[in-house]
């Protein structure tokens, strides 16, 4: 009796397994597609904890593409340079006059600033504070832009061969550009301050109100966590606070273009326009030593 029952159970199991294999065989395309999708999803999720570091595939692609991109970018800029420097000279005389006026104003301001700088030096010496360390920088050329309109990254022609590492500040003449990510031998990506994953600790220069400048994915940023009671006005300059360990204190981030205080809520909504024209970047500076306070 016991032997018969065991035999029947084995047979049922055998039939079950056989029918399962038959089911898989009939629907093998769906199973292969499902496994493929799962594998693709796994690649994505397993890479999430280290999104800012370049892996072997990304480094290889960067090393292969960087020289081609550099040459293509140089070639593509040539007709534009011809147009800008030779053909598009309408209104240059008027612009020249305006610039001369600007220079005069700037010189006056410069004189005032020099006075302030000297005063600051005297007071710093008086207080026996350390000077900011001189930051070592390397200049880099923009050789590529992000292929998607949603993310805001650029590729520069400097990598760890030039001393660049992940998380180093990137600056331009106007102020902060972003920080390096996914560094390979001869090229690096720069996560721009307008990327939605970017966050920079900042202060309003005039009122010293604090917040975090986050990218909005377009060519604008927002000042998050600025308390409702803080004094923030349109036109205020926003500078890095030095907190966070990437950017030194005092680098210009941008200008406040909109302030909105709702009836309720703890924070106010502040929109910032970056001081650097992100869409027209050609050369940048990578600060090789992180900020020293």
Q: Interface residues with other proteins (CB under 8 A)? A: 33, 36-37, 40-41, 43-48, 51-52, 55, 57-58, 61-62, 65, 68-70, 72-73, 75-77, 80, 143-151, 153, 155, 181-182, 189, 191, 196-197, 214-219, 279
Residue 180: strand pairing partners = 190
Three-class DSSP category at 196? coil
As measured in angstroms, the least distance from the Cβ of 157 to other proteins is: 11
**Smallest distance, Å, CB 167 to other proteins?**
13
Helices (H) and strands (E) in the chain, counts: 4, 12
Nearer to other proteins, 171 or 181 (CB): 181
Q: How far is the CB of 14 from other proteins (least distance, A)?
A: 34
Residue 84: partners with Cβ closer than 8 Å, 6 or more residues away: none
Q: Are 163 and 285 spatial neighbours (Cβ–Cβ below 8 Å)? A: no
Identify the sign of the CA torsion 108, 114, 115, 117.
Answer: positive
Q: Residue 153 belongs to what H/E stretch?
A: strand 153-156
Residue whose token pair is 């920080």: 179
| Closer CB to other proteins, 45 or 128, in the complex | 45
Sign of CA dihedral 42, 50, 214, 212: positive
Shortest distance, position 127 Cβ to other proteins, whole Å: 41
Residue closer to other proteins by CB (options 53, 289) is 53
Comparison of 48 and 93: residue with beta carbon closer to other proteins:
48
195/242 with CB nearer other proteins: 195
Q: Which is nearer to other proteins, 143 or 171 (CB)?
A: 143
3-state SS class at 237: strand
Residue placing its CB nearer to other proteins in the complex, 33 or 113: 33
8 Å CB contact between 38 and 46: no
Separation of alpha carbons 263 and 130, rounded Å: 45
Distance CA 288, CA 157 (A): 15
- The radius of gyration of the chain from alpha carbons, rounded to an integer in Å, stands at 28
Residue 43 has, within 13 A of its CA and on its CB side, a CA count of 7
């Amino acid at each position: 009796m016991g032997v018969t029952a065991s035999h029947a159970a084995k047979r049922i199991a055998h039939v079950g397994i056989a029918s399962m294999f038959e089911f898989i065989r009939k629907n093998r395309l769906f199973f292969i597609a499902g496994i493929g999708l799962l594998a693709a999803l796994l690649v994505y999720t397993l890479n999430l904890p280290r999104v800012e570091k370049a892996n072997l595939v990304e480094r290889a692609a960067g090393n292969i593409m960087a020289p081609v991109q550099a040459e293509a970018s140089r070639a593509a800029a040539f007709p534009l340079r011809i147009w800008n420097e030779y053909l598009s000279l309408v209104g240059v005389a008027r612009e020249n006059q305006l610039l001369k006026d600007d220079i005069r104003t700037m010189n006056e301001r410069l004189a005032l600033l020099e006075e302030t700088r000297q005063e600051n030096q005297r007071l710093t010496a008086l207080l026996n504070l350390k000077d900011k360390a001189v930051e070592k920088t390397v200049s880099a050329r923009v050789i590529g832009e992000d292929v998607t309109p949603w993310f805001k990254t650029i590729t520069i022609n400097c990598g760890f061969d030039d001393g660049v590492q992940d998380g180093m500040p990137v600056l331009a003449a106007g102020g902060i550009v972003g920080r390096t990510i996914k560094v390979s031998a001869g090229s690096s990506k720069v996560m721009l301050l307008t990327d939605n994953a970017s966050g920079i600790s900042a202060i309003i220069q005039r009122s010293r109100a604090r917040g975090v400048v986050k990218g909005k994915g377009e060519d604008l940023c927002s000042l998050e966590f600025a308390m409702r009671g803080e004094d923030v006005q349109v036109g205020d300059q926003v500078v890095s606070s030095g907190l966070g360990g990437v950017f030194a204190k005092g680098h210009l981030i941008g200008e406040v273009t909109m302030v909105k205080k709702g009836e309720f809520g703890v924070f106010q909504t502040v929109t910032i326009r970056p001081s650097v024209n992100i869409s027209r970047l050609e050369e940048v500076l990578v600060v090789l030593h992180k900020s020293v306070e």
